[in-house]
Amino acid sequence: MSSRKGRVLVAMSGGVDSSVTAALLLEEGFEVIGATLQLQSCGEAAFGAGCGGAAGPAQAGRVSRMLGIPHHGFDCRKQFEQAVLNYCWQEYSRGRTPNPCIVCNEKFKFGFLLEAASSLGVSQIATGHYARIERTGQGGVQLKRGLDRNKDQSYFLFALNARQLEAALLPIGELSKAEVRAQAYRLGLPNAGQEESQDACFAADHVCYAEILRQRFQGEARAGEVVDGQGRVLGHHQGFHHFTIGQRKGLGIALGQRAWVKAIHPESASVVLCRDEGELLAQGLVASNVTWSPSVVLPRPIPCSVQIRYRHQPVPAVVEPLGNGRVRVAFVRPVRAVTPGQATVFYDGDILLGGGWIEKSF
Which backbone phi and psi does 24 adopt, to 5 degrees?
A: -65, -40
Q: Please tell me which residue in 201, 208, 274, 304 is annotated as part of the active site.
A: 201
Distance CA 239, CA 356 (A): 27
Q: For residue 101, indicate whether it is catalytic.
A: no
Q: Which residues, 6 or more positions from 160, have their beta carbon under 8 angstroms from its beta carbon?
A: 105, 106, 110, 143, 168, 291
Q: Please, which residues bridge with residue 44 across strands?
A: none
Q: If we measure between CA atoms, which residue out of 285, 240, 208, 219 comes closest to residue 96? A: 240
Which value, in Å, is the radius of gyration of the alpha carbons in the chain?
Answer: 22
User: What sign results for the dihedral spanned by CA atoms 119, 122, 124, 129?
Assistant: negative
Torsion of CA 104, 105, 107, 111, to 10 degrees: 150
List Cβ neighbours of 199 (8 Å cut-off, separation of 6 or more).
310
| 188/171 Cα distance (integer angstroms) | 18
Which residues share a beta bridge with 326? 323
Query: 293 in the Ramachandran plot: left (φ > 0), alpha (ψ -120 to 50) or beta?
Result: beta
Nearest-5° Cα angle at 260, 357 to 47: 55
CA within 13 Å, CB half, 88: 26
| DSSP code per residue over 121-162 | T--EEE---SEEEEE-TTS-EEEEE-S-TTT--GGGGTT--H
201 among known catalytic residues: yes
DSSP assignment letter at 178: H
Q: CA-CA distance, 164 to 214, in Å (whole number)? A: 32
Q: Which of 104, 208, 274, 304 is catalytic?
A: 104
Distance of CA 24 to the CA centre of its chain: 24
> What is the set of active-site residues?
104, 201
